Structure 1
Amino acid sequence: MNAYRAKPLNFPWPPIIYGTAALIALVLTRVHPIPVMNGQSWFPWLIGGALIFSAILLDLWAVKVLLERHTAVLPHRCATCLVTSGPFRFTRNPIYLGYTLAMTGAGLMTLNPWFFIMAILAVALTTLFAVRNEERHLLSRFGFEFERYCRHTARWI
Protein backbone atom coordinates (compact mmCIF):
# COMPACT_ATOMS: atom_id res chain seq x y z
CA MET A 1 0.00 0.00 0.00
CA ASN A 2 1.16 3.49 -0.80
CA ALA A 3 2.45 5.26 2.34
CA TYR A 4 0.69 8.42 1.18
CA ARG A 5 -2.68 6.66 1.31
CA ALA A 6 -2.02 4.69 4.48
CA LYS A 7 -4.23 5.54 7.42
CA PRO A 8 -2.47 6.65 10.59
CA LEU A 9 -4.31 4.08 12.73
CA ASN A 10 -6.61 1.15 12.07
CA PHE A 11 -8.66 1.93 15.17
CA PRO A 12 -9.13 5.13 17.23
CA TRP A 13 -6.97 3.94 20.14
CA PRO A 14 -6.38 7.12 22.19
CA PRO A 15 -9.94 7.53 23.54
CA ILE A 16 -9.97 3.81 24.39
CA ILE A 17 -6.57 4.07 26.10
CA TYR A 18 -7.58 7.05 28.23
CA GLY A 19 -11.01 5.62 29.06
CA THR A 20 -9.49 2.31 30.10
CA ALA A 21 -6.83 4.10 32.16
CA ALA A 22 -9.55 6.05 34.01
CA LEU A 23 -11.51 2.86 34.72
CA ILE A 24 -8.37 1.11 35.96
CA ALA A 25 -7.67 4.07 38.27
CA LEU A 26 -11.15 3.72 39.75
CA VAL A 27 -10.77 -0.04 40.20
CA LEU A 28 -7.29 0.28 41.73
CA THR A 29 -8.64 2.77 44.26
CA ARG A 30 -11.00 0.07 45.51
CA VAL A 31 -8.45 -2.77 45.38
CA HIS A 32 -5.26 -0.98 46.46
CA PRO A 33 -6.06 2.47 47.85
CA ILE A 34 -3.15 4.84 48.25
CA PRO A 35 -3.52 6.87 51.45
CA VAL A 36 -3.72 10.60 50.87
CA MET A 37 -3.84 13.36 53.44
CA ASN A 38 -7.38 14.63 53.33
CA GLY A 39 -7.62 17.99 55.00
CA GLN A 40 -11.09 18.62 53.53
CA SER A 41 -9.53 21.39 51.49
CA TRP A 42 -11.36 22.93 48.57
CA PHE A 43 -8.07 23.75 46.82
CA PRO A 44 -7.46 20.38 45.04
CA TRP A 45 -11.11 20.30 43.98
CA LEU A 46 -10.86 23.82 42.56
CA ILE A 47 -7.61 23.13 40.67
CA GLY A 48 -8.94 19.79 39.42
CA GLY A 49 -12.11 21.44 38.18
CA ALA A 50 -10.09 24.13 36.43
CA LEU A 51 -7.95 21.46 34.73
CA ILE A 52 -11.02 19.56 33.54
CA PHE A 53 -12.62 22.77 32.29
CA SER A 54 -9.38 23.69 30.48
CA ALA A 55 -9.21 20.21 28.97
CA ILE A 56 -12.73 20.51 27.60
CA LEU A 57 -12.02 23.94 26.14
CA LEU A 58 -8.76 22.71 24.59
CA ASP A 59 -10.45 19.69 23.01
CA LEU A 60 -13.34 21.75 21.66
CA TRP A 61 -10.95 24.34 20.25
CA ALA A 62 -8.85 21.66 18.54
CA VAL A 63 -11.91 19.93 17.04
CA LYS A 64 -13.27 23.28 15.84
CA VAL A 65 -10.00 24.10 14.08
CA LEU A 66 -9.85 20.65 12.46
CA LEU A 67 -13.44 20.96 11.23
CA GLU A 68 -12.79 24.46 9.88
CA ARG A 69 -9.86 23.10 7.87
CA HIS A 70 -12.01 20.19 6.59
CA THR A 71 -9.61 17.52 7.78
CA ALA A 72 -10.01 14.38 9.86
CA VAL A 73 -10.89 14.69 13.53
CA LEU A 74 -10.84 10.98 14.30
CA PRO A 75 -7.32 9.57 14.66
CA HIS A 76 -7.93 6.63 12.31
CA ARG A 77 -8.83 8.81 9.32
CA CYS A 78 -6.42 10.24 6.75
CA ALA A 79 -5.45 13.88 7.12
CA THR A 80 -6.29 16.11 4.16
CA CYS A 81 -4.22 19.07 5.32
CA LEU A 82 -1.60 19.89 7.94
CA VAL A 83 -3.18 22.01 10.67
CA THR A 84 -0.74 24.32 12.44
CA SER A 85 -3.12 26.97 13.73
CA GLY A 86 -5.24 27.25 16.86
CA PRO A 87 -4.03 24.99 19.67
CA PHE A 88 -1.81 23.17 17.15
CA ARG A 89 0.53 26.19 17.33
CA PHE A 90 1.47 25.15 20.87
CA THR A 91 1.27 21.35 20.81
CA ARG A 92 1.05 18.75 18.07
CA ASN A 93 -1.46 16.74 20.11
CA PRO A 94 -3.89 19.13 21.81
CA ILE A 95 -6.73 16.61 22.01
CA TYR A 96 -4.55 14.00 23.73
CA LEU A 97 -3.15 16.72 25.97
CA GLY A 98 -6.74 17.57 26.88
CA TYR A 99 -7.40 13.93 27.81
CA THR A 100 -4.32 14.00 30.03
CA LEU A 101 -5.36 17.25 31.72
CA ALA A 102 -8.82 15.80 32.36
CA MET A 103 -7.36 12.70 34.01
CA THR A 104 -5.08 14.84 36.15
CA GLY A 105 -8.01 17.04 37.12
CA ALA A 106 -10.09 13.99 38.03
CA GLY A 107 -7.22 12.78 40.21
CA LEU A 108 -7.13 16.10 42.05
CA MET A 109 -10.89 16.35 42.47
CA THR A 110 -11.19 12.82 43.84
CA LEU A 111 -7.82 12.83 45.66
CA ASN A 112 -7.04 9.61 43.80
CA PRO A 113 -3.31 9.20 43.04
CA TRP A 114 -4.06 6.32 40.68
CA PHE A 115 -5.35 8.85 38.15
CA PHE A 116 -1.90 10.48 38.00
CA ILE A 117 -0.16 7.14 37.56
CA MET A 118 -2.63 6.03 34.91
CA ALA A 119 -2.37 9.39 33.11
CA ILE A 120 1.39 8.86 32.77
CA LEU A 121 0.79 5.34 31.48
CA ALA A 122 -1.86 6.61 29.05
CA VAL A 123 0.55 9.23 27.68
CA ALA A 124 3.22 6.56 27.15
CA LEU A 125 0.81 4.13 25.46
CA THR A 126 -0.74 6.85 23.31
CA THR A 127 2.70 7.97 22.18
CA LEU A 128 3.72 4.40 21.44
CA PHE A 129 0.58 3.19 19.67
CA ALA A 130 -0.95 6.33 18.18
CA VAL A 131 1.23 9.44 18.06
CA ARG A 132 4.19 7.81 16.34
CA ASN A 133 1.93 6.25 13.68
CA GLU A 134 0.11 9.54 13.16
CA GLU A 135 3.44 11.32 12.79
CA ARG A 136 4.60 8.78 10.19
CA HIS A 137 1.34 9.33 8.32
CA LEU A 138 1.71 13.11 8.40
CA LEU A 139 5.35 12.89 7.33
CA SER A 140 4.44 10.73 4.34
CA ARG A 141 1.65 13.12 3.33
CA PHE A 142 3.24 16.51 4.04
CA GLY A 143 7.00 15.84 4.05
CA PHE A 144 9.19 18.87 4.69
CA GLU A 145 6.25 21.00 5.84
CA PHE A 146 5.55 18.50 8.64
CA GLU A 147 9.26 18.25 9.54
CA ARG A 148 9.43 22.04 9.89
CA TYR A 149 6.28 22.01 12.03
CA CYS A 150 7.82 19.34 14.30
CA ARG A 151 10.96 21.40 14.80
CA HIS A 152 8.94 24.38 16.03
CA THR A 153 6.10 22.68 17.93
CA ALA A 154 6.40 20.29 20.88
CA ARG A 155 4.78 16.88 20.71
CA TRP A 156 2.96 17.35 24.01
CA ILE A 157 3.81 20.67 25.71
Structure 2
Amino acid sequence: MNQAAGALLGSGRWVRESAASRTIGRAYFGLQAIAGAVWWIAVFTVPAVRRATLGGIDPVLMAAADVPLFVLASALVALGARWAVWIAVPWTLLVAGAMIVVATVTGAAGWGALLMGAAGIGSALAWLLLRFGRIPADAALAGPLGFGTARRGTPPLRQLVRTLLQMSVFWILFLGVIPLGIALLEWRWALRVEFPVAVRVLGAGILLLASALGVWSAFAMALRGDGTPLPSAAANRLVLTGPYRLVRNPMALAGIVQAFGVGLCGSSWLVAVYALCGILYWNELVRPFEEDDLARRFGAEFEAYRARVRCWVPRLRPVG
Protein backbone atom coordinates (compact mmCIF):
# COMPACT_ATOMS: atom_id res chain seq x y z
CA MET A 1 0.00 0.00 0.00
CA ASN A 2 1.48 3.39 -0.93
CA GLN A 3 1.69 6.28 1.51
CA ALA A 4 -1.16 8.28 -0.05
CA ALA A 5 -3.54 5.32 0.08
CA GLY A 6 -2.57 4.65 3.68
CA ALA A 7 -3.25 8.28 4.57
CA LEU A 8 -6.69 8.12 2.94
CA LEU A 9 -7.59 4.93 4.77
CA GLY A 10 -6.32 6.40 8.03
CA SER A 11 -8.40 9.52 7.44
CA GLY A 12 -11.49 7.43 6.72
CA ARG A 13 -10.99 5.43 9.91
CA TRP A 14 -10.63 8.66 11.88
CA VAL A 15 -13.89 9.95 10.41
CA ARG A 16 -15.68 6.72 11.39
CA GLU A 17 -14.20 6.82 14.88
CA SER A 18 -15.14 10.48 15.25
CA ALA A 19 -18.73 9.78 14.24
CA ALA A 20 -18.95 6.89 16.69
CA SER A 21 -17.44 9.02 19.45
CA ARG A 22 -19.94 11.80 18.87
CA THR A 23 -22.75 9.26 19.00
CA ILE A 24 -21.41 8.06 22.34
CA GLY A 25 -21.26 11.69 23.55
CA ARG A 26 -24.89 12.30 22.63
CA ALA A 27 -25.92 9.00 24.20
CA TYR A 28 -24.23 10.03 27.43
CA PHE A 29 -26.22 13.25 27.58
CA GLY A 30 -29.40 11.27 26.90
CA LEU A 31 -28.66 8.95 29.83
CA GLN A 32 -27.78 11.97 31.96
CA ALA A 33 -31.12 13.59 31.17
CA ILE A 34 -32.99 10.40 32.13
CA ALA A 35 -30.95 9.96 35.32
CA GLY A 36 -31.54 13.60 36.26
CA ALA A 37 -35.29 13.30 35.74
CA VAL A 38 -35.45 10.10 37.81
CA TRP A 39 -33.40 11.74 40.54
CA TRP A 40 -35.68 14.76 40.79
CA ILE A 41 -38.74 12.52 40.97
CA ALA A 42 -37.05 10.64 43.83
CA VAL A 43 -36.12 13.91 45.56
CA PHE A 44 -39.78 14.93 45.78
CA THR A 45 -41.14 11.49 46.61
CA VAL A 46 -38.50 9.84 48.81
CA PRO A 47 -37.37 11.91 51.84
CA ALA A 48 -34.24 9.76 52.33
CA VAL A 49 -33.05 10.57 48.82
CA ARG A 50 -33.68 14.28 49.40
CA ARG A 51 -31.68 14.27 52.64
CA ALA A 52 -28.80 12.23 51.22
CA THR A 53 -28.38 14.27 48.06
CA LEU A 54 -29.49 17.79 48.96
CA GLY A 55 -29.11 18.03 52.72
CA GLY A 56 -30.60 21.36 53.75
CA ILE A 57 -30.81 22.83 50.21
CA ASP A 58 -34.33 23.91 49.20
CA PRO A 59 -35.40 21.35 46.58
CA VAL A 60 -37.96 23.65 44.95
CA LEU A 61 -35.46 26.45 44.30
CA MET A 62 -32.84 23.95 43.16
CA ALA A 63 -35.25 22.18 40.80
CA ALA A 64 -36.38 25.49 39.28
CA ALA A 65 -32.87 25.99 37.92
CA ASP A 66 -31.59 22.44 37.58
CA VAL A 67 -34.46 20.90 35.62
CA PRO A 68 -34.16 23.27 32.63
CA LEU A 69 -30.38 23.78 32.77
CA PHE A 70 -29.37 20.17 33.53
CA VAL A 71 -32.16 17.78 32.60
CA LEU A 72 -33.70 19.56 29.62
CA ALA A 73 -30.40 20.91 28.28
CA SER A 74 -28.87 17.41 28.41
CA ALA A 75 -31.91 16.04 26.57
CA LEU A 76 -31.54 18.69 23.86
CA VAL A 77 -27.88 17.77 23.36
CA ALA A 78 -28.88 14.12 23.01
CA LEU A 79 -31.44 15.09 20.38
CA GLY A 80 -28.79 16.90 18.34
CA ALA A 81 -28.97 20.50 19.57
CA ARG A 82 -25.23 21.04 19.89
CA TRP A 83 -25.66 24.59 21.23
CA ALA A 84 -27.30 23.20 24.37
CA VAL A 85 -23.98 21.68 25.45
CA TRP A 86 -22.87 25.21 26.37
CA ILE A 87 -25.70 25.26 28.89
CA ALA A 88 -25.58 21.71 30.22
CA VAL A 89 -21.82 21.39 30.77
CA PRO A 90 -21.09 24.73 32.54
CA TRP A 91 -24.16 24.32 34.73
CA THR A 92 -23.22 20.76 35.65
CA LEU A 93 -19.67 21.80 36.55
CA LEU A 94 -20.97 24.78 38.55
CA VAL A 95 -23.42 22.63 40.52
CA ALA A 96 -20.83 19.91 41.04
CA GLY A 97 -18.36 22.42 42.48
CA ALA A 98 -21.03 23.98 44.69
CA MET A 99 -22.24 20.62 45.97
CA ILE A 100 -18.68 19.55 46.80
CA VAL A 101 -18.15 22.75 48.79
CA VAL A 102 -21.49 22.40 50.61
CA ALA A 103 -20.92 18.76 51.47
CA THR A 104 -17.36 19.42 52.65
CA VAL A 105 -18.32 22.38 54.82
CA THR A 106 -21.55 20.98 56.29
CA GLY A 107 -20.91 17.23 56.23
CA ALA A 108 -24.35 16.75 54.61
CA ALA A 109 -25.49 15.94 51.05
CA GLY A 110 -22.46 13.74 50.45
CA TRP A 111 -24.24 11.59 47.89
CA GLY A 112 -25.25 14.72 46.01
CA ALA A 113 -21.62 15.89 45.89
CA LEU A 114 -20.45 12.49 44.69
CA LEU A 115 -23.13 12.09 42.02
CA MET A 116 -22.78 15.63 40.71
CA GLY A 117 -19.00 15.33 40.74
CA ALA A 118 -19.29 12.21 38.60
CA ALA A 119 -21.80 14.00 36.33
CA GLY A 120 -19.38 16.90 35.97
CA ILE A 121 -16.56 14.61 34.85
CA GLY A 122 -18.86 12.68 32.54
CA SER A 123 -20.26 15.85 30.98
CA ALA A 124 -16.79 17.25 30.35
CA LEU A 125 -15.63 14.02 28.69
CA ALA A 126 -18.81 13.79 26.60
CA TRP A 127 -18.30 17.40 25.50
CA LEU A 128 -14.77 16.50 24.35
CA LEU A 129 -16.22 13.64 22.29
CA LEU A 130 -18.73 16.00 20.69
CA ARG A 131 -16.17 18.74 20.11
CA PHE A 132 -13.18 16.74 18.87
CA GLY A 133 -14.59 13.31 18.05
CA ARG A 134 -12.25 11.85 20.67
CA ILE A 135 -10.74 12.60 24.07
CA PRO A 136 -7.49 14.45 23.24
CA ALA A 137 -5.38 12.64 25.80
CA ASP A 138 -2.24 13.36 23.77
CA ALA A 139 -2.44 16.99 24.94
CA ALA A 140 -1.42 15.81 28.42
CA LEU A 141 1.51 13.76 27.09
CA ALA A 142 4.04 16.57 27.22
CA GLY A 143 7.03 17.47 29.37
CA PRO A 144 7.96 14.60 31.70
CA LEU A 145 4.95 12.66 30.39
CA GLY A 146 5.92 13.10 26.75
CA PHE A 147 7.52 10.25 24.83
CA GLY A 148 11.29 10.07 24.57
CA THR A 149 14.16 7.74 25.38
CA ALA A 150 16.75 7.77 28.13
CA ARG A 151 20.30 8.82 27.34
CA ARG A 152 22.13 5.83 25.93
CA GLY A 153 25.10 4.44 27.79
CA THR A 154 23.98 5.60 31.22
CA PRO A 155 25.36 3.18 33.85
CA PRO A 156 22.69 0.63 34.86
CA LEU A 157 23.02 1.54 38.53
CA ARG A 158 22.26 5.18 37.76
CA GLN A 159 19.21 4.15 35.68
CA LEU A 160 18.05 2.01 38.59
CA VAL A 161 18.40 4.88 41.07
CA ARG A 162 16.43 7.17 38.74
CA THR A 163 13.77 4.51 38.30
CA LEU A 164 13.38 3.94 42.03
CA LEU A 165 13.17 7.70 42.66
CA GLN A 166 10.50 8.09 39.99
CA MET A 167 8.58 5.15 41.39
CA SER A 168 8.78 6.61 44.91
CA VAL A 169 7.29 9.91 43.72
CA PHE A 170 4.45 8.10 41.93
CA TRP A 171 3.77 5.90 44.95
CA ILE A 172 3.66 8.88 47.31
CA LEU A 173 1.30 10.79 45.03
CA PHE A 174 -1.00 8.09 43.63
CA LEU A 175 -0.94 5.66 46.55
CA GLY A 176 -0.64 8.16 49.38
CA VAL A 177 -1.67 11.76 48.80
CA ILE A 178 -4.59 11.22 46.40
CA PRO A 179 -6.10 8.21 48.24
CA LEU A 180 -5.79 10.08 51.54
CA GLY A 181 -7.67 13.04 50.08
CA ILE A 182 -10.38 10.75 48.69
CA ALA A 183 -10.72 8.93 52.02
CA LEU A 184 -11.02 12.22 53.92
CA LEU A 185 -13.79 13.41 51.60
CA GLU A 186 -15.47 10.02 51.93
CA TRP A 187 -15.44 10.42 55.71
CA ARG A 188 -16.53 14.07 55.64
CA TRP A 189 -19.38 13.34 53.25
CA ALA A 190 -20.59 10.48 55.49
CA LEU A 191 -20.03 7.89 52.76
CA ARG A 192 -17.56 5.71 54.63
CA VAL A 193 -18.38 2.03 55.09
CA GLU A 194 -16.24 0.05 57.51
CA PHE A 195 -14.87 -3.10 55.84
CA PRO A 196 -14.56 -6.41 57.70
CA VAL A 197 -11.12 -7.14 59.14
CA ALA A 198 -10.65 -10.03 56.67
CA VAL A 199 -11.16 -7.67 53.73
CA ARG A 200 -8.64 -5.19 55.15
CA VAL A 201 -6.08 -7.94 55.68
CA LEU A 202 -6.68 -9.15 52.12
CA GLY A 203 -6.11 -5.60 50.89
CA ALA A 204 -2.80 -5.39 52.73
CA GLY A 205 -1.69 -8.66 51.13
CA ILE A 206 -2.71 -7.46 47.67
CA LEU A 207 -0.80 -4.22 48.25
CA LEU A 208 2.38 -6.05 49.22
CA LEU A 209 2.23 -8.44 46.26
CA ALA A 210 1.52 -5.65 43.78
CA SER A 211 4.35 -3.57 45.26
CA ALA A 212 6.72 -6.50 44.77
CA LEU A 213 5.60 -6.72 41.13
CA GLY A 214 6.26 -2.99 40.70
CA VAL A 215 9.77 -3.23 42.15
CA TRP A 216 10.53 -6.32 40.02
CA SER A 217 9.36 -4.45 36.92
CA ALA A 218 11.46 -1.41 37.84
CA PHE A 219 14.62 -3.51 38.11
CA ALA A 220 13.92 -5.19 34.76
CA MET A 221 13.26 -1.84 33.06
CA ALA A 222 16.40 -0.17 34.40
CA LEU A 223 18.88 -3.05 34.16
CA ARG A 224 17.66 -4.70 30.94
CA GLY A 225 16.03 -1.85 29.07
CA ASP A 226 18.59 0.93 29.61
CA GLY A 227 15.86 3.35 30.64
CA THR A 228 13.22 4.28 33.19
CA PRO A 229 9.41 3.94 33.43
CA LEU A 230 9.03 7.69 32.79
CA PRO A 231 7.79 8.14 29.18
CA SER A 232 10.26 10.94 28.48
CA ALA A 233 13.18 8.69 29.53
CA ALA A 234 11.87 5.36 28.27
CA ALA A 235 13.91 2.21 27.73
CA ASN A 236 16.22 2.06 24.72
CA ARG A 237 15.75 -1.70 24.43
CA LEU A 238 12.51 -3.65 24.36
CA VAL A 239 12.31 -5.43 27.73
CA LEU A 240 11.37 -9.09 27.33
CA THR A 241 12.61 -10.43 30.65
CA GLY A 242 11.34 -10.66 34.22
CA PRO A 243 7.64 -9.80 34.62
CA TYR A 244 7.49 -8.66 31.01
CA ARG A 245 7.55 -12.34 30.03
CA LEU A 246 4.16 -12.69 31.75
CA VAL A 247 2.29 -9.47 30.95
CA ARG A 248 2.96 -6.45 28.75
CA ASN A 249 2.22 -3.74 31.31
CA PRO A 250 3.41 -5.07 34.68
CA MET A 251 4.10 -1.62 36.14
CA ALA A 252 0.68 -0.25 35.20
CA LEU A 253 -0.95 -3.44 36.45
CA ALA A 254 1.02 -3.21 39.71
CA GLY A 255 0.03 0.43 40.24
CA ILE A 256 -3.68 -0.19 39.73
CA VAL A 257 -3.70 -3.27 41.96
CA GLN A 258 -1.70 -1.36 44.59
CA ALA A 259 -4.30 1.42 44.65
CA PHE A 260 -7.07 -1.17 44.91
CA GLY A 261 -5.23 -2.77 47.83
CA VAL A 262 -4.90 0.64 49.50
CA GLY A 263 -8.66 1.07 49.19
CA LEU A 264 -9.37 -2.32 50.75
CA CYS A 265 -6.91 -2.12 53.63
CA GLY A 266 -7.91 1.51 54.29
CA SER A 267 -11.61 0.60 54.29
CA SER A 268 -12.36 3.09 51.51
CA TRP A 269 -14.66 1.98 48.72
CA LEU A 270 -14.12 5.28 46.91
CA VAL A 271 -10.37 4.67 46.76
CA ALA A 272 -11.10 1.20 45.34
CA VAL A 273 -13.29 2.85 42.68
CA TYR A 274 -10.48 5.35 42.01
CA ALA A 275 -8.16 2.40 41.34
CA LEU A 276 -10.62 0.77 38.94
CA CYS A 277 -11.00 4.07 37.08
CA GLY A 278 -7.23 3.87 36.56
CA ILE A 279 -7.81 0.86 34.33
CA LEU A 280 -10.05 2.86 32.01
CA TYR A 281 -7.68 5.82 32.01
CA TRP A 282 -4.58 3.78 31.23
CA ASN A 283 -6.14 1.34 28.79
CA GLU A 284 -8.21 3.81 26.77
CA LEU A 285 -6.18 7.03 26.92
CA VAL A 286 -2.53 6.20 27.57
CA ARG A 287 -1.88 2.70 26.23
CA PRO A 288 -2.69 3.45 22.54
CA PHE A 289 -0.04 6.20 22.46
CA GLU A 290 2.49 4.11 24.38
CA GLU A 291 2.08 1.10 22.10
CA ASP A 292 2.22 3.26 18.98
CA ASP A 293 5.53 4.63 20.27
CA LEU A 294 6.85 1.10 20.95
CA ALA A 295 5.73 -0.10 17.52
CA ARG A 296 7.46 2.85 15.88
CA ARG A 297 10.73 2.26 17.75
CA PHE A 298 10.91 -1.54 17.82
CA GLY A 299 8.81 -2.55 14.81
CA ALA A 300 8.39 -6.26 14.17
CA GLU A 301 10.02 -7.21 17.48
CA PHE A 302 7.32 -5.42 19.43
CA GLU A 303 4.53 -6.67 17.16
CA ALA A 304 5.65 -10.26 17.76
CA TYR A 305 5.82 -9.63 21.49
CA ARG A 306 2.37 -8.04 21.50
CA ALA A 307 0.94 -11.06 19.71
CA ARG A 308 2.35 -13.46 22.34
CA VAL A 309 1.82 -11.61 25.62
CA ARG A 310 -1.49 -10.17 26.85
CA CYS A 311 -1.82 -6.57 28.02
CA TRP A 312 -3.45 -7.07 31.42
CA VAL A 313 -3.97 -10.77 32.16
CA PRO A 314 -0.65 -12.49 32.96
CA ARG A 315 0.31 -15.69 31.18
CA LEU A 316 0.47 -18.86 33.23
CA ARG A 317 3.74 -19.71 31.51
CA PRO A 318 6.32 -17.06 30.65
CA VAL A 319 7.21 -16.59 26.99
CA GLY A 320 10.50 -18.03 25.87
| Number of the residue aligned with 2:186 | 29
Match of 2:283 among 102, 124, 127: 127
Paired AA for residue 29 in structure 1:
E
Q: What TM-score do you get using the length of structure 2 for normalisation?
A: 0.41
The alignment status of 1:95 with 2:232, answered yes or no, reads: no
Residues 8-157 of structure 1 mapped to structure 2, 5 A cutoff: 10-12=143-145, 15=170, 18=174, 22-23=179-180, 25-36=182-193, 38=195, 41-76=196-231, 77-157=233-313
Higher RCO (CA-CA < 8 Å; seq separation 6+): 1
Gaps of 5+ in 2: 1-140, 147-166, 314-320
- How far is the alpha carbon of 1:85 from its aligned partner? 1.4
Kindly tell me: are residues 42 and 56 of structure 1, through their superposed partners in 2, closer, same or farther at Cα, counting changes over 3 Å?
same
Percent identical pairs in the alignment equals 22
**1:108 Cα deviation after fit:** 1.1
Q: In the aligned structure 1, how far is the partner of 2:291 from the partner of 2:194?
A: 41
Q: Is the 8 A contact 2:228 2:234 kept in 1?
A: no
The AA in structure 2 aligned to 1:63 is A
Q: Distance in 1 between matches of 2:257 and 2:229?
A: 19
- Say whether the 8 Å CA contact 1:9–1:134 is kept in structure 2: no
Cα RMSD (Å): 2.7
Match of residue 3 from structure 1 = none
Letter in 1 for 2:144: F
Superposition deviation, residue 149 in structure 1: 1.0
Counterparts of 1:67 and 1:132 in 2: how far apart (Å)?
23
CA 1:67–1:111: 2 relative to 1, 3 Å: same
Instruction: State the Cα distance separating 1:78 from its structure 2 match.
Output: 3.5
Identify the range of structure 1 (55-64 vs 23-32) with the bigger mean alpha-carbon deviation.
23-32
Cα distance in 2, alignment partners of residues 123 and 21 from structure 1: 16
TM-score (norm 1): 0.79
Residue type of the partner of 2:290?
A: E
Q: Number of paired residues?
A: 148
In the other structure, the counterpart of 2:71 is none
Q: Relative to structure 1, is the Cα distance of residues 90 and 28 closer, same or farther in structure 2, using a 3 angstrom cutoff? A: farther
Structure 1 stretches lacking a partner, 5+ long: 1-7
Does the Cα contact within 8 Å between 1:104 and 1:116 map onto a contact in 2?
yes
Larger radius of gyration: 2
Structure 2 CA distance for aligned equivalents of residues 24 and 129 of structure 1: 24
**Residues 38-80 of structure 1: CA distance to partner in whole angstroms, max 9, x if unpaired?**
4xx4311221111111111101100111122142223322331
Note closer, same or farther for the CA distance 1:130–1:83 as it changes in structure 2 (3 Å cut). Answer: same
Runs of 4+ that moved beyond 4 A: none
Deviations 1:9-60 (A, max 9, x none): 643499498457535532441344435364xx43112211111111111011
